[in-house]
Chain A
Amino acid sequence: MDFVALRLSLELAGVTVLLLLPAALLTARFLAWRRFRGKSLLEAALAVPLVLPPTVVGYYLLVGMGSGSWLGSWVERFTGQSLVFSFSGLVVASLIVNIPFAVQPMQRAFEAIPDDVRDAAACCGMGFWRTLLTVELPLAWPGVVTAFVLTFAHTLGEFGVVLMVGGSIPGETQTIAIAIYDRVQAFDYAAAGQMSLLLLVFSLLVLALAGGWGRRIGRRDALPRL
């Protein structure tokens, strides 16, 4: 068992969730209720990582964040560090790749909140933040949990993009998914098997817990029948 890779994966997933979820939440809320020109295009752009092969996404990120790029050279000038083949680069890549996993469940959850409820909140004198925190978030909570679980689990299991952008530097960019690949390449099937089993059990457990919790909240906060 490669605990260094496991810790790195957990750190990457934690940082991704922490940074991505608040921004995704506001984006999801915006997309759920606003109508504007080009909305379909924006939604499609945010969903692209779902359908593109991870190597393609990884290639563009590698080119976009490399020292020859505007972003890469800017980051290098200010931090003295390269974005590619570093943990920071992995975080940026992970944030971008996980956008649809974070945004879509929350967007669907916000869309399910009836207009009447939001109208009533406004007429109760509630401002943006109060409505978000006391009405919208509790009602969209199953969507937030799903977004959290999907983003966290997907980051743990991400392979192609991480390999393209981060390479496989132990302790820096070698996540557990890449460590498994490395172990298989070295014919160390026992270690690969242990780590795979850990990921499998973890994923199953988290998904089952999140699903059960979401259903319980959904039943408790069911919309009244008229």
Chain B
Amino acid sequence: MRCPGSDFRLSVTLAQPVPIAAELACGGGELLALVGPSGSGKSTLLRMVAGLVNPSQGRIECGSLCWFDSTRGLHLSPQQRRVGFVPQHYGLFPHMTALGNVMAGLHALPAREREARARHWLARVHLPGLEQRRPAELSGGEQQRVALARALVREPSILLLDEPFSAVDQVTRQTLYLELAELKQELGIPVILVTHDLDEALLLADHMTLLSSGRSLQSGRPHAVLAEPASAEAARLLGMRNLVPGTLLRHDATSASSWIRAGSVELAAALAPDLEPGTAIVWMVPHAAVCLAAVPPPAPGGHADSLRVSIRSLLPLGDSVRISAEIPGLETLLRLQASPEEVARLHLEPGREAWVEYARAKVRLLRA
């Protein structure tokens, strides 16, 4: 279900206390995940949407309403915006019961209607029977549900969730994911979720905006962003480990390749004709595009390229082994992963030589 006219758009800048320059968009019934490391401005951006922080410049619109417009000096207060907000630590009123917390958002209604609506929403978030408990008597997951009921009871135009799953255990988290996904579809309003957990964004979000130091680096469908990072910084934030800085040497249209120099080594990548030779770039090879070999491949220059590496360290972690490999003539280490059986089969040991094969077509070049 999608409510027409419930789209949300934001384009703001802020100078103090955290420099922010971001653009966001989210449709009704969709979930936008704001992903980035601590201090990237995710929560500040969410507080701007709620009206709790004033941008220096820009515009915030929700549906047909403009909430903030610096050119017109328009700034609606949080009370005027009809925002459902679940803060990071839920912000429950500790002196009120669960029912009282939800009713607090309905002060304009007659008492009987307030209670009926609050009870409906507590039941809707699966909390019947706990109405008279105070927040200190509830578990983390239950507190989160009360905060969600309180945010939704006012029938908001947008739902804002600030790392709502960070304080609950893994089992509760999985249940809450499913409930949020259901709720999102039923509500039909834009939902903005702040998280530093990429897996959470991949699971729940329809769109994702990657933030770093207050700037929106890249936006798009979560899997598309993960598959095609727009910059080296975005790739790092997405957890790409094998990023080798270098300079673009030349393009070769016949083999659909571009060549770079990194240290004293030449590396191949998929053709990137939009980059000028001489540009400082980063060579990015996805984890799925590399494999280890004990001997050099028989036909170099085929569909896969290869690199001679020296194993620096092996670290067993869970059911796999994390491998650091040094490319002679290059300062950057390659981070690889293999099964213990593969490590034994290839006789991998620190100090020994090995070969890393990579699929050139899957290697991307990003601006440094």
Contacts and interface: CB of A to CB of B under 8 A. Distances in A.
Question: Main SS of the interface on chain B?
Answer: loop
B138 interface: yes
Contacts of A117: 91-94
Given A125-B79, A224-B143, A119 B87 contact: yes
Interface in B76-125: 77-79, 82-85, 87-95, 104-105, 107-108
Interface stretch (B56-64, B147-155, B310-318, B328-336): B147-155
A226 B143 contact: yes
A12 B366 CA distance: 76
Interface in B38-79: 47, 50-52, 77-79
Interface residues of A, number: 26
A119 B91 contact: yes
Interface in A140-157: none
Interface string A213-226: 00000001111111
Contacts of A121: 91, 93, 104
A124 B77 contact: no
Question: Main SS of the interface on chain A?
Answer: helix
Interface magnitude class on chain B: 35 or more
A135 interface: yes
Given A135-B93, A138-B95, A120 B87 contact: yes
Contacts of B25: none
Interface of A: 114-127, 130, 134-135, 138-139, 220-226
Interface of B: 47, 50-52, 77-79, 82-85, 87-95, 104-105, 107-108, 134-136, 138, 140, 143, 147, 150-151, 154, 167
21 contacts: A114-B89, A116-B90, A117-B91, A117-B94, A119-B52, A119-B91, A120-B85, A120-B90, A122-B52, A123-B84, A123-B151, A125-B107, A125-B108, A126-B79, A130-B107, A135-B104, A221-B95, A222-B136, A224-B138, A226-B89, A226-B90
